[in-house]
């Protein structure tokens, strides 16, 4: 079981706003930055959000991140078919002295 | 633009040592801009951080793997490596190398290399 908890699946239509949650604790999300990765089938993960809510260059602005207390969320406004992928949250855990990942959420675009 | 490429055996026998190399191009591993790390993903499962190395040579390992892992850097070849001893079936995974400006994230990844553990 992962230290960061994500729902196993999420879905939405291109006209909706889809949100994926990530729940942690005071030793990880509560005190450190949250990162989000998108992994298309058969490919390496790609960073889509860093430092809670920043977008790397080249990531569409339909992706946004937020953090409150010991939880974080990734939102995708108007998901496209190419956004169908697994999404992972990640953070440094000060108690474990390690990078930890959530279990991943599979996004389906209906 | 940084590019990373993993290389190593695709098949390892149980109890043997896995040795993987990550070749870096488009930047220097001795640059003070980056940390370098290894992540793995068992088939059909999630991501697991193995450890990393800083530009100063400091190493950081996941505690449950610490007794079996060594990450090192070869600045002359601009590459870094992973050694994982006493391999078991539980270590079978796609192994990725990655880099980021801090230890806690990766904004460049290698394509990954599948490692199978079997006699």
Instruction: Say whether B104 and A47 touch across the interface (CB within 8 A).
Output: no
Q: Does A87 touch chain B (CB under 8 A)?
A: no
Sheet of A71-77, strands arranged across: A17-23, A71-77, A63-68
Binding-face residues of A in 27-86 toward B, CB within 8 A:
32-33, 35, 37, 43-47, 50, 56
Q: State how far the alpha carbon of A89 is from the alpha carbons of A48, A49, B50, in Å.
A: 10, 9, 16
In this prediction, residue A27 carries a pLDDT of 96
Whether A6 has a pLDDT exceeding 80, the answer reads yes
In this prediction, residue B10 carries a pLDDT of 94
**Percent residues over pLDDT 90 in chain A:** 96
Q: Are B14 and B89 in contact (CB under 8 A)?
A: yes
In this prediction, residue A2 carries a pLDDT of 77
The chain-wide mean pLDDT, for chain B, equals 96
Instruction: Say whether B103 and A32 touch across the interface (CB within 8 A).
Output: no
Mutant choice from A4, A27, A33, A44 vs B, greatest count of B C-beta within 10 A: A44
**For residues B5-20, average pLDDT:** 97
* Residue (of B45, B114, B39, B93) closest to A106 by Cα position: B45
Q: Does A97 touch chain B (CB under 8 A)?
A: yes
Question: Looking at CA atoms only, how far is residue A42 from chain B in angstroms?
Answer: 9
Q: pLDDT of B43-82, one tens digit each?
A: 999 999 999 999 889 999 999 999 999 999 999 999 999 9
**For residues B11-15, average pLDDT:** 97
Strands B59-61 and B69-74 come out as unpaired
Of the candidates A44, A90, A102, the beta carbon closest to that of B112 is on A44
Residue B110 — pLDDT band, cuts 50, 70, 90? very high
In this prediction, residue B68 carries a pLDDT of 98
Q: Are A91 and A102 in contact (CB under 8 A)?
A: no
Neighbours of A38 (CB within 10 A): 22
Residue A90 — pLDDT band, cuts 50, 70, 90? very high
Strands A71-77 and B11-12 come out as unpaired
């Amino acid at each position: 079981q992962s230290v960061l908890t994500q729902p196993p699946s999420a879905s939405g239509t291109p006209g909706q706003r889809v949100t994926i949650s990530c729940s942690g604790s005071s030793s990880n999300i509560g005190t450190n930055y949250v990162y989000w990765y998108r992994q298309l089938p058969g490919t390496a993960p790609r960073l889509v959000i860093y430092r809670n809510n920043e977008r790397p260059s080249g990531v569409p602005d339909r992706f946004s991140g937020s953090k409150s207390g010991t939880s974080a969320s990734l939102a995708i406004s108007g998901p496209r078919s190419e956004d169908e992928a697994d999404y992972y949250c990640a953070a440094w855990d000060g108690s474990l002295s390690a990078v930890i990942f959530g279990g991943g959420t599979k996004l389906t675009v209906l | 633009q940084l590019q990373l490429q993993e290389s190593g055996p695709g098949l390892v026998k149980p109890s043997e040592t896995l040795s993987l190399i990550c070749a870096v191009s488009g930047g220097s591993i001795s640059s003070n801009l980056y940390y370098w790390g290894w992540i793995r993903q068992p088939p059909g499962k999630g991501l697991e951080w193995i450890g990393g190395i800083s530009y100063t040579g400091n190493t950081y390992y996941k505690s449950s793997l610490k007794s079996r892992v060594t990450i090192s850097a070869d600045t002359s070849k601009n590459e870094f490596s992973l050694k994982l001893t006493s391999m078991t079936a539980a270590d079978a995974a796609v192994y990725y190398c990655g880099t980021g400006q801090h230890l806690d994230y990766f904004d460049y990844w290698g394509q990954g290399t599948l490692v199978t553990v079997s006699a």
